[in-house]
């Protein structure tokens, strides 16, 4: 039994094959068709910014129209440069294809640049007329930039102006992948990100499985070698007493950390005073302080500390006379003046 061909997309099949043609010519055609609907977002954005008004200043409309006419004249007049003489056929085909690509990109730029200028003029003038004038002149240039039979033939004749044969048709018929200017790189980067993310997730899953396996092995080892026997409770059966095990008990943490340990104590001055036999209530005189300074230290470091305490401070808290009188036995006063 012969199956009938599907009628789905039968009408659009020639158009789809024309657009998705896997050749160099099809690649240039897709590059042009990608920018054909570009003026529509610009038109909607400008319409929202100007508030839906159409009338604008006259000089803005004139400026936009002049730019559109200049771009159209340049796109019509400018052609690819001639090829140099003496090129081999493979080199001629490669150079002709490269120059035709540059020529197509130049026509796209000449069609899109006036649209941007017309949008700026519409925003300045406060109306849509400048943009409408530019679109009427520049939008058809996108279709003129498409590689058709007339465009390719005219470009080939311009390249052969110096007598070198340009194998442009042969170069355009070479196979090429079906790509789009911006969508294809974005899709490629997104697929690469998804692949990298799946690889990272797989590695993370393997690591988690290894950690779970190591944890289960540690638990099994702990159960096989218990440190303390289990005390059977009243609720457990006799058959379960031999199967219950208990893990080893953790050591209690110290009450104080290493940072909270007490620091070393400084020498107590009062203890040195008590050891030397001097009471806290007795007061030292300058003579007694001098005698105590002259006495050798018989009780070691405590006696030295006590003598320093008596020399510096009185029991009342003021500086002693031994400190204020640097020269013992002399009054600390200003010497007489020798002026006449």
**196: confidence class by pLDDT, cuts 50, 70, 90:** very high
Signed CA dihedral, 104, 110, 113, 118: sign only: negative
Q: What is the pLDDT of residue 231?
A: 54
pTM above 0.75, yes or no: no
If you average pLDDT over residues 216-238, what whole number do you get? 67
The H or E element containing residue 117 is: helix 89-125
Long-range contacts of 86-90 (CB under 8 A, 24+ apart): 86/164, 87/164, 89/165, 89/167
Q: What is the pLDDT of residue 283?
A: 45
Q: What is the pLDDT of residue 248?
A: 58
Long-range contacts of 197-205 (CB under 8 A, 24+ apart): none
Q: Is 270 helix (H, G, I), strand (E, B) or coil?
A: helix
Share above pLDDT 90 across residues of the chain, in percent, rounded to a whole number: 7
Side-chain-side CA neighbours of 285 within 13 Å: the count stands at 4
**What are the pLDDT digits (tens) for 65-99?**
898 898 888 888 888 888 888 888 888 888 999 99
**What are the pLDDT digits (tens) for 148-163?**
888 888 999 989 888 8
Mean pLDDT, rounded, of the chain = 75
Q: What is the pLDDT of residue 259?
A: 54
**3: confidence class by pLDDT, cuts 50, 70, 90:** very low
């Amino acid at each position: 039994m012969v199956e009938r061909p599907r009628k789905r997309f039968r009408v659009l099949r020639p158009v789809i094959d024309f657009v998705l043609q896997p050749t160099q010519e099809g690649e240039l055609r897709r590059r042009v068709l990608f920018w054909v609907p570009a003026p529509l977002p610009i038109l909607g954005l400008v319409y929202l910014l100007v508030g839906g008004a159409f009338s604008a200043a006259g000089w803005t409309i004139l400026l936009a129209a002049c730019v559109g006419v200049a771009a159209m004249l340049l796109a019509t007049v400018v052609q690819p440069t001639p090829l140099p003489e003496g090129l081999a056929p493979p080199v001629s085909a490669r150079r002709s294809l490269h120059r035709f690509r540059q020529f197509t990109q130049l026509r796209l730029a000449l069609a899109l640049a006036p649209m941007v200028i017309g949008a700026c003029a519409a925003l300045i003038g406060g109306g849509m007329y400048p943009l409408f004038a530019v679109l009427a002149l520049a939008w058809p240039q996108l279709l003129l930039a498409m590689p058709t039979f007339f465009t390719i033939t005219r470009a080939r004749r311009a390249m052969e102006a110096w007598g070198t044969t340009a194998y442009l048709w042969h170069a355009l018929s070479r196979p090429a992948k079906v790509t789009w200017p911006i969508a294809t790189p974005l899709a490629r980067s997104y697929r690469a990100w998804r692949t990298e993310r799946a690889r990272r997730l797989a590695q993370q899953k393997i690591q988690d499985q290894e950690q779970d396996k190591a944890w289960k092995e540690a638990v099994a080892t702990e159960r096989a070698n218990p440190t303390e026997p289990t005390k059977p409770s009243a609720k457990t059966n006799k058959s379960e007493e031999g199967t219950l095990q208990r893990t080893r008990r953790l050591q209690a943490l110290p009450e104080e950390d290493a940072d909270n340990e007490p620091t070393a104590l400084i020498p107590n001055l009062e203890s040195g005073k008590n050891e030397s036999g001097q009471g806290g209530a007795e007061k030292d005189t300058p003579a007694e302080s001098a005698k105590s300074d002259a006495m050798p230290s018989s009780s070691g470091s405590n006696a030295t500390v006590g003598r320093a305490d008596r020399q510096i401070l009185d029991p009342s808290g003021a500086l002693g006379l031994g400190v204020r009188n640097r020269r013992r036995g002399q009054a600390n006063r200003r010497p007489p003046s020798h002026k006449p």
